[in-house]
Amino acid sequence: MAVVEESTVVHRAPQEVFDFLARPANLPVWDNSIVDAAQDGDGPLGVGTRVRGTSKILGRRFDWVTEYTEYDPPRRLVSRSVEGRLHFTVTNTLEREGDGTRVTWRVDATPGLGGVFGRLADPLVEKAHARTVRGNLETLTEVLTEHQDAY
């Protein structure tokens, strides 16, 4: 299982950050691998909420559906893939830090390239993904810090 974990500090209250992260339509705003994302169905967000989306990874598009398995505002949001070729769990942990919030973003993913080449390439993909995650968290920080009234 490949694991990528990175964190950042956002100068907003934990509840504000949690609300932004939990809103599926915000995913493409800060995660550059996500082309689109939307709540699947109506109703309030919580455990069992499904999110349908598309990611573009290494030039290929992947459709997926995730389900919130933990929804504990403003501390923890966990979703896992339930449909699609990608198998992963994303854990967002939020902790107050000074006047802001430390966001730790972790993805546990099943390596998906397969075969001999896949076993050799997966560590390279994992390193590249870690760089992407760091960039995405920088974007998240910028969006929530500089555009406070937009979301």
Among residues 31, 37, 57, 36, the alpha carbon closest in space to that of 49 is found at: 37
Per-residue confidence band for 50, with pLDDT thresholds at 50, 70 and 90: very high
Read off the tokens for 26.
């915000």
Q: What's the predicted TM-score (pTM) here?
A: 0.87
Contact 108, 78 (CB under 8 A): no
Q: Band of the pLDDT at 143, cuts 50, 70, 90? A: very high
The region of weakest confidence among 11-15, 35-39, 56-60, 117-121 is 117-121
Mean pLDDT of 24-51: 96
Cis peptide before 74 (omega within 30 of 0): yes
Where do we find the tokens 């800060």? Answer: 30
* Position 148 confidence tier, pLDDT thresholds 50, 70, 90: low
**For the chain, how are helix, strand and coil distributed in percent, rounded to 5?**
30, 45, 25
Question: Who's near 4: CB < 8 A, 6+ residues apart?
Answer: 106, 107, 109, 126, 129, 130, 133
Q: Which domains does the chain have, with CATH numbers?
A: 2-146 (3.30.530.20)
Q: Quick check: 18 and 45 in contact, CB under 8 A?
A: no
- Predicted confidence at residue 121, as pLDDT, reads 46
| Confidence at residue 103, expressed as pLDDT on a 0 to 100 scale | 97
